[in-house]
Structure 1
Amino acid sequence: MALKKTAAFFLLFLLFLFVPLKPTQADDYTADYDVNYYLVENGSSLQTEVGFNIKTTNLRSDIYVKKFSLIFPSSFKVSKISAFDDRGEVVPKIVSDDQKITIELEFSDPNTGKGSVNNFYVKFFQENLFKVNGNVWEVILPTVDNRSGSNYRVNVVLPKNTEKKISIAKPKPDSIVNQGDFRSITWNNPTSKTIYAVFGEYQYYQAKLTYNLKNSKLVPVFTEIALPPDTLYQKTFLQHLNPQPSSVYVDEDGNFMARYFLKPKENMTVNYQGIIKVFNQARPDFLPVIRSTIEQQKKYLLTEKPLWKINPDVKINSLKSMADIYGYLVGQFQYDYKKALSLDSKRLGAQQAWLNPKSVVCTEFADLFVALSREKGIPAREIEGYGFSADPQLRPLSLASDVLHAWPEYYDESKKIWIPIDPTWENTSGIDYHSSFDLNHVVFAIHGKDPQYPYPAGMYKIENSKDIIINAVNQEPEEKTSLEGRGDFLKKINNKNIYQGKITIKNNGNVFLNDLNFSLDSPDISINPSALSVTSIAPLETKEFSVSYSSTGVKRGKKSKITLSNQYGKIFDFDIEIVDYYADLEIKISLGILFLVLVFLAGRFLWTKK
């Protein structure tokens, strides 16, 4: 994927410099900044009216501020620029080249003398600052640098009567105030390089994935693919899967696996289509799944694997906590953009990445975090999937196959949840991906037990095929819930024997169903167990349960039934006739005698004929 911006140019974007021109020096004056962003909905896009109020105070009697410059990246679509000072309108000098737009301002008749104050008022429109991505609005606001001793306020005013609420903010705003039909969000003196904000509590992605399967052997084989799974922060809606798999299941890590049977030398293309809903907070309905599986997962979440093995040294020993590990990776390692573009680059693993801190991509950041966390006794795992990024320089995608991304998760023992983080994107963008996450990460595969298996979508390729198409959408998907149940019981039982049966439950809906509780009821039949629980069942997945059942001692000829139901309603009824044990025994003995008599008569008939 070609990168259109250089790293140096991106720095310019981040710093968003307000440069005083000579003869002043930075310590000869102070500058206070009041920056306002007024959002206006323009069809399917957002236009932003931006206002900069810049107050300069001269700190010396012999030097004063005469000129100011604002520098923007050339990608900023700035229009309708106007400027004023305390004397009236100022004509800005605008200089553009391939990389930047410079707005140069000069006071018409500035006040002079120590303590004197001058003001610039700059207004312009910008079309692409706030991005509309599907169901959410997203913005990365660069902040003013080198402003020691000054006051700095950033204020965002949302469109009139909008229902959008801020769901993610890095750093957190100092105030959110409703003013009539408008809502304003304010940051006072932010110290971060950027302000990142998302408006909307969840995002929808339309995913079209292609899996190219090949059996090069002379014998038939089963092969597996990983479909997008449900996670604590992600809910999937299956719309289309062709051809249908032989079976599906959820593995120990929570991967949604589909099995396919391939004949000798057979090639098969599997097409998946679905909606993926990404949340900014942990899903309450998925918490029982996490807490029922973590104890089993802990048996391998602290073990070493070749890619997650690292040799202890003095620096590693000084890292005591998860926050220490994350901060060290972000601060001491450098993302390698050239390596990210190379199709020949190999995954280094944690140890080699530790020895090459200036040549790492997302997989190395993830491997290092997992290895260091496990070294400190913190359960951690790697996630591979899709990172929705409009700017590959800010938020790069490093897996060579299609546009995949990797990031780690760690298990928080106090909160009893998995927490995703992204040291790669914080390293490249300056945005905090430690204290909170975003809505731009879609999970394809979870690697806790094995650092390489299962392969995520996009890794089942034929030459240079395009196997991942994913776009943000704002359409609410249709949720279809459908459980099919089947009972394997005898249609006639007696009132003395104990029988063995089987319950089969299949999810014919398009979503995962979690925390299901089933009951087996009958007025005349005892069933053990009579209560069944399913932590989670994936679309197309089948679960089987063995039960024993027997009559409670009713009289002969009784018609009864077994009913399977759950918290949402009845699944099925199975009709059973209960007969008296001795009457049933008499019938069986009589049928046995009759059979022997018939055999005897047939034999005698054949003998007589001879």
Structure 2
Amino acid sequence: MVFSKIKVVKRFLFFLSSLFIIHYSSFASPTAASEDFIVNQQIVYTYQDSGSGTVTESISLTNRFSTSYARQYHLRLLGTNITSITAADVQGPLPVELTETESGSQVTVQLLHPSAGKDRVTRFTLSYPAPAAITRGQVKEVSIPQISDPSQIENYTLVVKIPGSYGKLAYSSSPPSTSSDLFYTFSKDQLISQPIKLTFGNIQAFNFQLVFHLENSSLQPQLQAVAIPPDTSYQRVFYDLIDPQPINVLPDADGNWLAYFRLPPKSRLDITASGQAHLQNTPQNPSSQSDPLLTSYLQPDQYWPVDHARIQEIAAGLSTPKQVYQYVTSTLKYDTSRLANSARRGVLVALDNPDTSLCTDFTDLFITLARAAGVPAREVNGYAYSTDPQLRPLSLVTDVLHAWPQYWDLKNKTWVDVDPTWESTSKSNYFDQFDFNHFAFVIHGQSSESPLAAGQYKQGSTRDVAVSFAPYRSFAASPLKIEVVPPRQILPFIQNQALVRLTNTQASAIYNPSPVSIIPPFGKFEYLVDFRSSPFPWLTPTVISVSTHDAYLDYNIAQNHYLLWYLLLTIAASVTLIVMVLFAHHAWSVHHERSRWTNPLRR
């Protein structure tokens, strides 16, 4: 927080210096109003590759009256203790007194060369080290607090200069008024209503370790599944291990990855999945959802009463995802006191009690109204990184999970993540842009309740979700493992079928391995192929060729699969031989008998 004042001749004036401090969410306000000066300020934040920064504040004070001019400049920095500060005007350095206090720093600048007379201008600059830009995993963050009383500043400009190593500007709570590759400018109006948060980077990496608890209380074996974090248009997930290894991992209609395990009667199973997730803040992989499937994302469900008369009435005035979003953020208000009892209550109860809402209420209301307005929508549960639970709260208290919605972008053919909860609480834009902090665990589209997300497979009060920033890792690709299982016995002249099994042995999903669209890590896909065999397999062996993705296999069918054919051939040959022998014997007998009757010497 910054307070400042100027010492003037004949009268004293206290005014706002509007000094902004990176990474401190303090507000600045004047100690007293003044009309003696026109105050112009340009504040420049310059950052280095290391993350260190310098704040340069250029100030001009224009006298409104001939009887007043500035002699002293005071500022008080609350919430931080700066180690050094310099001041200067065009004639050289200015004396600066720096005093440390319990609440921050007190700075007094002596203006040695004030300009007297109406419309005369006193100019000087302040320079001091800024707290380093915060590095969070693979991205850097800069936060600038809002102006609480801008009336004391006539003209104001704020510029952020960053090095190329920071990457692109991935997120800004308020878009810059002007920008280039390395310069971002903000106006006074942009800082009136809310602080500005800037995030720079191209990708974020999270290490994760998730524990799932399954139990079979029946007297029969059971096949049970857990939902492990899947790839989405915003994230790519790589697995180091799933222990124990599942029987199979299959995608469902929403794109979840379901890992299947066989549980003996009266048994429990603890499953650990670990790896790394790479997150981006814009959709990267357009989905291939078909229209018939998209219609399922317009249907009512337990917590999405799309057909209710009250919902239909509200949705009649909403035609776009943004209109739905704005209605939700303006109607509901987050209530941290409900975290102790965060049971999901449904949108109708939320509309009756809008001031006591949690993230599930924001999400359910968005999905319900969007579907009622003809916009396909669904829910995401997962981990959301937050440094301020007041501005960016987490409502699903089970291992600190969060809920947010997605809507289908018809133009770009992809799902788009939005977060009305965090926009409502932080006043930052989470509709037109997204951040690197939302790690999806599970997607709810066909059902509003299942599958469960990691952290919700509980048996007791264990901590089952561990997510942390991590150095970016590259994961080597591995070819698909192809197996061919021929039928036990093969016969020629008829159509036979062989089983082809594709197994993904790499850490990430494999896409479009014909004839399937995806095989998740540790997943298998099986299908049948038709083939015909030569009647002489010992001369012309039967080969089944399988080519998919980056893998190829020529499978030579072993001779033992023709034992039945060989047996049939042997029987057929034996029967043929016997018939031929009998026929020959009969023919010889007939011939011999005729010879006796035609030879007179034998009569």
TM-score (norm 1): 0.80
Choose which of 154, 159, 171 in structure 2 pairs with 1:155.
159
1:441-590 matches, within 5 Å, as 441-490=438-487, 493=490, 495-517=492-514, 533-551=515-533, 557-575=539-557, 586-590=569-573
> What CA deviation, in whole Å up to 9, does each residue of 1:285-323 have, x standing for no partner?
xx3xx21x3434323211112312262376554333211
Q: Is the CA contact (8 Å cut-off) linking 1:21 and 1:67 kept in structure 2?
A: no
Rounded to whole Å, the distance in 2 between the matches of 1:73 and 1:550 is 83
Instruction: Describe the SS at the equivalent of 2:516.
Output: strand
Determine whether 1:333 maps to 2:332.
yes
- For structure 1, the residue ranges without an aligned partner over 5 or more in a row are 1-11, 518-532, 595-610
Counterpart amino acid of residue 47 in structure 1 = S
Q: Is the CA contact (8 Å cut-off) linking 2:96 and 2:108 kept in structure 1?
A: no
Q: How far is 1:484 from its partner?
A: 1.4
Q: How far is 1:382 from its partner?
A: 0.8
Q: How far is 1:167 from its partner?
A: 3.1
Rounded to whole Å, the distance in 1 between the matches of 2:452 and 2:197 is 32
Q: Is the CA contact (8 Å cut-off) linking 2:541 and 2:556 kept in structure 1?
A: no
Rounded to whole Å, the distance in 1 between the matches of 2:60 and 2:328 is 39
CA 1:33/1:333 → structure 2, altered by over 3 Å: closer, same or farther? farther
Rounded to whole Å, the distance in 2 between the matches of 1:361 and 1:463 is 24
Q: Is the CA contact (8 Å cut-off) linking 2:481 and 2:551 kept in structure 1?
A: no
Aligned to 2:592: none
Q: How far is 1:554 from its partner?
A: 8.5
Instruction: Describe the SS at the equivalent of 1:516.
Output: coil
Rounded to whole Å, the distance in 2 between the matches of 1:270 and 1:302 is 34
Rounded to whole Å, the distance in 1 between the matches of 2:455 and 2:303 is 21
Higher strand share: 1
Aligned to 1:603: none
Q: Is the CA contact (8 Å cut-off) linking 2:206 and 2:468 kept in structure 1?
A: yes
Choose which of 16, 37, 53 in structure 1 pairs with 2:27.
16
Aligned to 1:407: 404
Choose which of 38, 52, 60 in structure 2 pairs with 1:55.
60
Larger radius of gyration: 2
Q: Is the CA contact (8 Å cut-off) linking 1:500 and 1:548 kept in structure 2?
A: yes
> What CA deviation, in whole Å up to 9, does each residue of 1:378-404 have, x standing for no partner?
001110101112222232222111111
Q: How far is 1:566 from its partner?
A: 2.2
Aligned to 1:319: 318
Counterpart amino acid of residue 153 in structure 1 = T
Aligned to 2:596: none
Counterpart amino acid of residue 41 in structure 2 = Y
CA RMSD of aligned residues (A): 3.5
Aligned to 2:418: 421
Rounded to whole Å, the distance in 2 between the matches of 1:59 and 1:303 is 65
Q: How far is 1:487 from its partner?
A: 1.5
Q: Is the CA contact (8 Å cut-off) linking 1:31 and 1:147 kept in structure 2?
A: no
> What CA deviation, in whole Å up to 9, does each residue of 1:467-487 have, x standing for no partner?
111111123232332311122
Aligned to 1:301: 297
Choose which of 162, 171, 174 in structure 2 pairs with 1:171.
174
Rounded to whole Å, the distance in 1 between the matches of 2:106 and 2:344 is 41
> What CA deviation, in whole Å up to 9, does each residue of 1:546-602 have, x standing for no partner?
2221248989721241111124241453336799x99985434357999xxxxxxxx
Rounded to whole Å, the distance in 1 between the matches of 2:330 and 2:362 is 12
> What CA deviation, in whole Å up to 9, does each residue of 1:206-241 have, x standing for no partner?
001111223344544333211110111111111011
Instruction: Describe the SS at the equivalent of 2:572.
Output: helix
CA 1:131/1:123 → structure 2, altered by over 3 Å: closer, same or farther? same
Counterpart amino acid of residue 235 in structure 2 = Q
Aligned to 1:211: 212
Instruction: Describe the SS at the equivalent of 2:327.
Output: helix
Q: How far is 1:35 from its partner?
A: 1.6
Determine whether 1:432 maps to 2:414.
no
Aligned to 1:6: none
Q: How far is 1:334 from its partner?
A: 1.7
Q: How far is 1:274 from its partner?
A: 0.6
Counterpart amino acid of residue 548 in structure 2 = N
> What CA deviation, in whole Å up to 9, does each residue of 1:67-91 have, x standing for no partner?
87767663x5644244456785354
Determine whether 1:195 maps to 2:164.
no
1:81-100 matches, within 5 Å, as 81-84=85-88, 89=94, 91=96
1:190-269 matches, within 5 Å, as 191=190, 193-269=194-270
Q: How far is 1:358 from its partner?
A: 1.2
Q: Is the CA contact (8 Å cut-off) linking 1:23 and 1:63 kept in structure 2?
A: no
CA 1:66/1:346 → structure 2, altered by over 3 Å: closer, same or farther? farther
Stretch of structure 1 that moved more, 144-153 or 252-261: 144-153
Aligned to 1:352: 349
Q: How far is 1:494 from its partner?
A: 5.5
Rounded to whole Å, the distance in 2 between the matches of 1:102 and 1:426 is 35
CA 1:265/1:112 → structure 2, altered by over 3 Å: closer, same or farther? farther
Stretch of structure 1 that moved more, 190-199 or 135-144: 190-199
Q: How far is 1:493 from its partner?
A: 4.9
- For structure 2, the residue ranges without an aligned partner over 5 or more in a row are 1-22, 578-603
Rounded to whole Å, the distance in 1 between the matches of 2:366 and 2:301 is 13
What is the total number of aligned residue pairs between the two structures? 547
Rounded to whole Å, the distance in 2 between the matches of 1:331 and 1:296 is 33
Q: How far is 1:164 from its partner?
A: 2.9
CA 1:72/1:416 → structure 2, altered by over 3 Å: closer, same or farther? farther
> What CA deviation, in whole Å up to 9, does each residue of 1:104-125 have, x standing for no partner?
7786775465534344533332
Q: Is the CA contact (8 Å cut-off) linking 1:275 and 1:477 kept in structure 2?
A: no
Instruction: Describe the SS at the equivalent of 1:191.
Output: helix
Instruction: Describe the SS at the equivalent of 1:397.
Output: coil
Q: Is the CA contact (8 Å cut-off) linking 1:483 and 1:571 kept in structure 2?
A: no
CA 1:242/1:567 → structure 2, altered by over 3 Å: closer, same or farther? closer
Rounded to whole Å, the distance in 2 between the matches of 1:60 and 1:337 is 51
TM-score (norm 2): 0.81
Rounded to whole Å, the distance in 2 between the matches of 1:120 and 1:332 is 47
CA 1:107/1:319 → structure 2, altered by over 3 Å: closer, same or farther? farther
> What CA deviation, in whole Å up to 9, does each residue of 1:322-347 have, x standing for no partner?
1112122223322112223x2x3311
Aligned to 1:126: 130
Instruction: Describe the SS at the equivalent of 2:512.
Output: strand
Q: How far is 1:23 from its partner?
A: 5.0
Rounded to whole Å, the distance in 1 between the matches of 2:575 and 2:148 is 98
1:99-138 matches, within 5 Å, as 111=115, 114-119=118-123, 121-128=125-132, 130-138=133-141
Q: Is the CA contact (8 Å cut-off) linking 2:168 and 2:202 kept in structure 1?
A: yes
> What CA deviation, in whole Å up to 9, does each residue of 1:501-540 have, x standing for no partner?
22111111111011223xxxxxxxxxxxxxxx22111011
Rounded to whole Å, the distance in 2 between the matches of 1:372 and 1:85 is 59
* Percent of aligned positions that are identical: 27
Q: How far is 1:253 from its partner?
A: 0.7
CA 1:256/1:109 → structure 2, altered by over 3 Å: closer, same or farther? same
Counterpart amino acid of residue 126 in structure 1 = A
Aligned to 1:605: none
Determine whether 1:144 maps to 2:147.
yes
Rounded to whole Å, the distance in 2 between the matches of 1:453 and 1:200 is 34
CA 1:53/1:270 → structure 2, altered by over 3 Å: closer, same or farther? same
Aligned to 1:39: 47
Rounded to whole Å, the distance in 1 between the matches of 2:295 and 2:274 is 34
Stretch of structure 1 that moved more, 432-441 or 485-494: 485-494
